[in-house]
């Protein structure tokens, strides 16, 4: 990829290569027949959770890990577990929510809103840090293309629409502040966790959001 041009370049980045190796090892012996529809019950050695998608194609069904890597050879049974060969390298989780938004230009409006309202300080954290007390959360994020359908092309446009009479965006009662907080669930949820039920989930805006799964 653009970050590394050779194996030597990867190996020189000790922190990344350690995360890369640990991210590919699930702390669980699971054959493909035991793959979940969703997330593995145990984390990887890097402390992250991988998920499994079942892809239906013409005349075949196959597994895809993290919606990134297809399983090309499954169930190599070994004395200490299984190896499943995948066709694409999994990208270890080295970004937090805010970093991801900033690296993806198509989400610039939400990223700017997080900065303006002060919610950036809450989500721009490393959950793996030893002194981190915040619990994992879930963000519901619209791309810029969705805002532009309502002629919202910038943070200024969004603020004018949501909070036309107030500019104290870091105030917890400000409409823009509440709008951004409403996009953050107070618990960690994979998409499959939301399936099959219609219920309310608490948000950082202290106003529940209803999700019909």
Give pLDDT tens digits for 43-66: 999 888 898 988 877 777 788 998
HSE value, Cβ hemisphere, 13 Å, CA-based, for 41: 6
**Could you give phi then psi for residue 154, rounded to 5 degrees?**
-160, 170
- pLDDT average, residue stretch 113-125: 93
- pLDDT average, residue stretch 178-198: 90
Q: Across 23-137, where does the E strand assignment appear?
A: 38-39, 51-57, 60-65, 69-78, 81-86
Burial class (CB in 10 A: 0-12, 13-18, 19+), 17: middle
Best mean pLDDT range from 42-51, 167-176, 189-198: 167-176
> What is the pTM assigned to this prediction?
0.70
Share of the chain above pLDDT 70, in %: 98
- pLDDT average, residue stretch 27-48: 88
Crossing angle of the two packed helices 155-162 and 108-117, in degrees rounded to 10:
60
- Distance of CA 12 to CAs 17, 20, 77, 88, Å? 8, 13, 32, 21
- pLDDT average, residue stretch 163-192: 93
> Is residue 133 scored above 80 in pLDDT?
no
- pLDDT average, residue stretch 62-82: 91
> Is residue 134 scored above 70 in pLDDT?
yes
Share of the chain above pLDDT 90, in %: 55
Confidence (pLDDT) at 58: 79
Token readout for 176 is 């823009």
Token readout for 114 is 């997080």
HSE value, Cβ hemisphere, 13 Å, CA-based, for 96: 14
Burial class (CB in 10 A: 0-12, 13-18, 19+), 180: buried
Banded pLDDT at 146 (limits 50, 70, 90): very high
């Amino acid at each position: 990829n653009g970050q590394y041009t050779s194996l030597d370049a990867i190996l020189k980045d000790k922190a990344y290569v350690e995360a890369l190796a640990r991210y590919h090892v699930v702390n669980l012996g699971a054959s493909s027949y035991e793959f979940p529809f969703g997330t593995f019950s145990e984390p990887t050695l890097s402390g992250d959770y991988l998920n499994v998608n079942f892809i239906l194609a013409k005349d075949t069904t196959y597994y895809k890990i993290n919606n990134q890597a297809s399983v090309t050879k499954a169930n190599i049974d070994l004395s200490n577990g299984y190896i499943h060969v995948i066709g694409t390298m999994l990208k270890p989780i080295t970004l937090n929510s805010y970093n991801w938004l900033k690296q993806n230009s198509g989400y610039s409006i939400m990223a700017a809103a997080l900065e303006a309202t002060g919610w950036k300080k809450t989500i721009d954290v490393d959950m793996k840090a030893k002194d981190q007390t915040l619990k994992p959360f879930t963000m519901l994020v619209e791309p810029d293309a969705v805002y532009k359908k309502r002629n919202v092309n910038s943070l200024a446009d969004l603020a004018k629409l949501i909070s036309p009479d107030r500019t104290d965006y870091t105030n917890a009662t400000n409409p823009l502040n509440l709008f951004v907080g409403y996009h953050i669930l107070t618990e960690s949820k994979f998409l499959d966790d939301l399936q099959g039920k219609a219920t309310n989930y608490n948000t950082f805006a202290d106003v529940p959001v209803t999700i019909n799964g």
